[in-house]
Amino acid sequence: MNVSQLAEQLRRDHMFMKDVTRWEVLPARSARTAPFPAWLDPRLKPALEKRGIHELYIHQAQSLEATARGEDVTVVTPTASGKTMCYNLPVLSAILKNEDARALYLFPTKALSADQVSELYDMIEEMGVDIKTYTYDGDTPAAARKAVRQAGHIVVTNPDMLHSGILPHHTKWVKLFENLQYIVIDEIHTYRGVFGSNLANVLRRLLRLCEFYGSHPRFILCSATIANPAELAETLIGRPVTLVDENGAPMGEKHFVFYNPPVVNRQLGIRQGCIPVTRTISGMLLKNGIQAITFARSRLTVEVLTKYLKDLVRDPLGNAGKVRGYRGGYLPGERREIERGLRAGQVDAVVSTNALELGIDIGALDACVLCGYPGTIASAWQQAGRAGRRQGTSIVFFIASSAAIDQYIVNHPDYLLQKSPENALLNPDNLYILLSHFKCAAFELPFAKGDCFGNAPGTEELLTYLSEENILHEADGKYHWSAEDFPASEISLRSAASENFIIIDITDPARHRVVGEMDRFTAPMLLHENAIYMHEGRQYQVEKLDFDACKAYIRSVDVGYYTDADLNISLSLLDVEREEPFAGTAAAALGEIKVTALVTMFKKIRFDTHETLGFGHVRLPETDMHTTAMWWTLPDALAERMAGDRLKNGMMGIANLLRIVCPLYLMCAPQDVAVVYQVRSPITDKPTVIIYDNTPGGIGLAQKAFSMRDLLLEKALQVAEDCGCEHGCPSCTGPAGEIGEDGKRTAVRLLKELLK
């Protein structure tokens, strides 16, 4: 059965269709093309034609033209639309014209760079020219590094290596910096939050060095579909970009099926799990010979589903090999083999984490199953984009879990299908991040009085501060690095706080090994002594947490429970930046707060039944975090009318609703923002609901929340009103057991008052 026949059959299946909340058919789209631009080096055309490319899609052509005009370009491209052409063609053309020209390619992960480089190699080989493309990362052998520095026309690396391996040693890279024409950054939508804020500062450093060496590189950036690609790109590189977002690639008809597993316990609002449902649907695709990818959210789920599907086709002929799992933690060779198998059609089904969401080339598949909502619309479309050939029909199933976000999506399919409301946010001026990179910049090249650091504010204050701290030494208007430290080694680009805890497995006394890292604000929660720490599906118990040395020692265990620490959070106000009164005496404000976290105890919770087995004490120092926050204070009159627990329960309901809505509209992971309510807040002395940025210094989420504060309340109200439950459930305000019989009604009333 092919995809069209299967779709037809499912639509006639009433048992199936009763749980389908939406069956959307996205019509086929034909290709829109344009000829190769005249300025393209003549040697490129035959090489392209040999690969079957006779003209460009319009987005490729538009991007090339903008690049040729000397503009910085951001191309928004769905999966498999030939985005690499947008940067490979101008770069190759430039090097063919001038063999001294250099380009720098940045990819967020190593696997991705390996994939794109092999495509570049093919093109270069086809032309038979001497263009040297080198990957420079942690795996590059020391002996080869000199050649890369001297002779590499195209240097492919990642932000981490640029930050710690290239910029601080820029004098060894003279050739690259003096002749740098293009900086290519792929998958820029992955650079949000802390990682993006770090990258923006790495780029400030890079451009500062280019200026020193007299080069003026242009940017070519690629992004998956997000709401604000241009804004993201401009924040990353600190200058305006030309946006190219008209996709010219053809696409066959695509069915998008939203499936909500049936309720099995009406009382408690419990639905059938999304793993068994996914097992059935992916199994059906597999049995019909439809090549499909299934995305699961955790590594554990990937393994479980892979096993289920393998069992389904297991036979003496080794057909189980047609089903493969794919996730971080697999060895590179194994991953390449699976990717090849998918392209060649030897692998019929693959179950993956979001590891396969990025632009790794696996060809186009017939079907895609999303086991649970991946967290953002961009991810959902990236994953769904894995299904869909240029011709022929494809199908995507979204299987909702019982998580609140999933339930919102499956009941509001338009949220996913309409134009993305998500924003990718970053804040290069986060003081923690800025200060760290400013130090690196000062190490790399002394600042002079009046110098700028990209468009960062407060250069003068930063210089004064670092001089006061004797990290810089001022002489004749120049600030020289005068400390022994190597500042780039103090920052990890993927989290904000510089001191990370390392997690050491001591199960084997002869061979201690580092299994992971955790930032210092999360460590007390998950790595306190006796905590059960989960890593790659295995359980460990924390034996010792050395808070001063930032080390946690864990030992492998096999127990039937996990632990959950009680975090006591207290907030204090540092500064109010803006305050807007509304709805009578209510007010919304934006400001800076100090969050003090203290873990005092933890619960042991049994798997499956989730009953509490016991408690334990935790003795750890407090941790402080300065961050940005926004908050609503409720009108006095409203608060006075609600006696006792009613106000508290209503506010708890609102907080729960905002926890669902915020990650959706701020495009961040749920743990990136915190929502708390305080009946009598020490910040305002009034009943207050607070949203704060869970990253030290804040990455702009509070500002964004403040600017869309009415929308957030509207969406929170909508979730509550659209939910079928009567007295609250885990998918909206929280269950009545938590917020009281009246909680949901009160929350709705409060929200309506606030929105009046």
Binding residues vs other proteins (CB under 8 A) = 168-172, 174, 431-432, 435, 442-446, 457-458, 461-462, 464-465, 467-470, 473-476, 478, 480-488, 574-575, 592, 626, 696-697
Q: How far is the CB of 698 from other proteins (least distance, A)?
A: 11
- Which residue's CB is nearer to other proteins, number 432 or number 521? 432
- Which residue's CB is nearer to other proteins, number 169 or number 606? 169
- Which residue's CB is nearer to other proteins, number 142 or number 317? 142
756 vs 753: CA distance, rounded Å? 5
Q: How far is the CB of 367 from other proteins (least distance, A)?
A: 49
Q: How far is the CB of 574 from other proteins (least distance, A)?
A: 6
Give percent helix, percent strand, percent coil of the chain, each to the nearest 5: 40, 25, 35
- Which residue's CB is nearer to other proteins, number 338 or number 497? 497
Dihedral Cα 564, 568, 573, 578, nearest 10 deg: 30
Helices 332-344, 110-127: inter-axial angle, 10-degree rounding: 60
According to DSSP, residue 29 is labeled B
- Which residue's CB is nearer to other proteins, number 172 or number 749? 172
708 vs 308: CA distance, rounded Å? 44
Place of tokens 């069992």: 311
Residues in Cβ contact with 52 at an 8 Å cutoff, skipping those fewer than 6 apart? none
CB-CB contact of 730 with 743 (8 Å) = no
Q: Strands, E, within 3-139: which ranges?
A: 20-26, 33-34, 56-57, 73-76, 102-106, 133-135
Type of residue at 438: F
- Which residue's CB is nearer to other proteins, number 120 or number 440? 440
Q: How far is the CB of 199 from other proteins (least distance, A)?
A: 20
Q: How far is the CB of 202 from other proteins (least distance, A)?
A: 15
- Which residue's CB is nearer to other proteins, number 663 or number 698? 698
403 vs 567: CA distance, rounded Å? 22
- Which residue's CB is nearer to other proteins, number 79 or number 179? 179
Q: How far is the CB of 518 from other proteins (least distance, A)?
A: 20
According to DSSP, residue 162 is labeled I
- Which residue's CB is nearer to other proteins, number 36 or number 479? 479
**Two tokens, residue 408:** 């919102």
Q: Strands, E, within 137-262: which ranges?
A: 154-157, 180-185, 218-223, 242-244, 254-259
110 vs 329: CA distance, rounded Å? 13
Q: How far is the CB of 513 from other proteins (least distance, A)?
A: 26
Q: How far is the CB of 682 from other proteins (least distance, A)?
A: 17
Burial (CB < 10 A; 0-12, 13-18, 19+), residue 655, is: buried
Q: How far is the CB of 169 from other proteins (least distance, A)?
A: 6
163 vs 195: CA distance, rounded Å? 12
